[in-house]
Chains A and B, each alone.
Chain A
């Protein structure tokens, strides 16, 4: 089947605007993760969804960031009032609960805030 997909692949926005990034995980994967990868930095964990449990939001950098996962499948990461430091590649990954050792990553969304 298809892998993890993300849209858009690239997004350029003006400082102060809100953006929504979408992730479509692999069918049947109940765990979904959002990471951020800035230039010269490692992947930074943002948020984790597991089934119907409350999400682990411990990695969100500020209250401008939020995410939801509807119907246990598609997830949307929303960044409000974007700042230039939000510019990064936002990566989504999914995994089966039973095989949480392997996270399958999507191609990412490159966000540029001007």
Chain B
């Protein structure tokens, strides 16, 4: 089966930097995605990596190493509104996504 692992919970302080890791063992790979989901709301797209390396978008960056089956999401200058669940997802074929269980990030003052 497909396996996507990420930590269940993380805590960090406002203004700090946090790195959320995701490892995957899947039968195929056609891109890795990060989504943010606030409680009771729909997931919103954050980033997409298909080649190795770092993609930067404002305060958020995402890194991919296909040989290691590893990605991370880096959040800088944390704000209280960044408290949310962060979902790692792998696209195996076509357009469907396989999601990890998500990492709940709590940002404290």
Contact = CB atoms under 8 A, between A and B. Distances in A.
B97 A103 contact: yes
Given A42-B4, A42-B100, A42-B102, A100 B95 contact: yes
Contacts, number: 55
Interface stretch (B12-20, B42-50, B65-73, B75-83): B42-50
Task: Please classify the interface of chain B as helix (H, G, I), strand (E, B), loop, or mixed, using the class held by over half of its residues.
Answer: strand
A102 interface: yes
Nearest to A100: B95
Contacts of A104: 45
Interface residues of B, number: 22
Nearest to B48: A101
Interface in A30-45: 31, 33, 35, 40-45
B43 A105 contact: yes
A106 B42 contact: yes
B33 interface: yes
Contact of B87 (A42, A44, A100): A42
B7 interface: no
Interface of A: 4, 31, 33, 35, 40-45, 48, 50, 56, 59, 91, 95, 100-108
Given A44-B99, A45-B97, A101-B48, 14 more contacts: A31-B95, A33-B97, A35-B99, A42-B99, A42-B100, A42-B101, A43-B43, A43-B87, A43-B97, A48-B94, A101-B31, A102-B48, A105-B35, A106-B42
